[in-house]
Amino acid sequence: MERGQFEEIIRNKWVVFDTNILIKSFTSENFEKFKVFFDYLKNNNCEIVNFDLVGFEFTRNDYCPSDIAHKEIFLKKIGAILLNFNHAPDLLEEALEISRIYSHKGIQKGKISLVDCCLGALLKIYNKNIFLATLNHKDFPTILFDRKFIFPIDADDDIHTIAFYRFNNNKWATLKNDFDKIQQSQ
């Protein structure tokens, strides 16, 4: 999708970050390089929303209180409302359904991630308003999600390609239909 075209649909929307973006931007080496990405979101009046499970992944490997505190402050400063299971009571159920489809289609074979399925479910539930920004493209397959736009960041250690994903209800309906047929035939 062209940049201008994408900006028309992302303007005033919510963007949830995958953990990899937080991890990459929370380093003094990369931090300034990621400013262009935050600038882009700011210029399009996008709201960054935090998601509980992403917060868990971001801080789970820390034990030192000051490390944890710095990361928590970072998260709170970046994002608005913290989305969690209270905001979407069906989240786990939806995530489980997505995992069934992944399993059926051989996606993340044997390594289906709870957090990725929950992120997928979040995109499904808030489909009209929310986009996911991630650096990991295999975890959000285009048979289910639309990769709307790619935003490259030229950093010292690497070229980071952030992609914006949106849940596609039509793709979901087709996949679900195929899956239900199998269920019925058993």
Q: Which residues bind other proteins (CB under 8 A)?
A: 26-28, 31-32, 35, 38-39, 41-42, 45-49, 64, 66-67, 69-74, 76-82
Minimum separation from the CB atom of position 36 to other proteins (A): 12
Tokens describing residue 141: 């397959």
Tokens describing residue 130: 């929310």
Asked if residue 74 lies in contact with residue 26, where contact means CB atoms within 8 angstroms, the answer is yes
Minimum separation from the CB atom of position 66 to other proteins (A): 5
Distance between CA atoms of residues 167 and 129, nearest Å:
10
Instruction: State which residue, 20 or 168, has the beta carbon closest to other proteins.
Output: 20
Distance between CA atoms of residues 186 and 182, nearest Å:
6
Instruction: State which residue, 3 or 76, has the beta carbon closest to other proteins.
Output: 76
Instruction: State which residue, 57 or 105, has the beta carbon closest to other proteins.
Output: 57
At 158 the three-state DSSP class reads coil
Minimum separation from the CB atom of position 42 to other proteins (A): 4
Instruction: State which residue, 59 or 168, has the beta carbon closest to other proteins.
Output: 59
Query: Which helix or strand (DSSP H or E) is residue 97 part of?
Result: helix 91-105
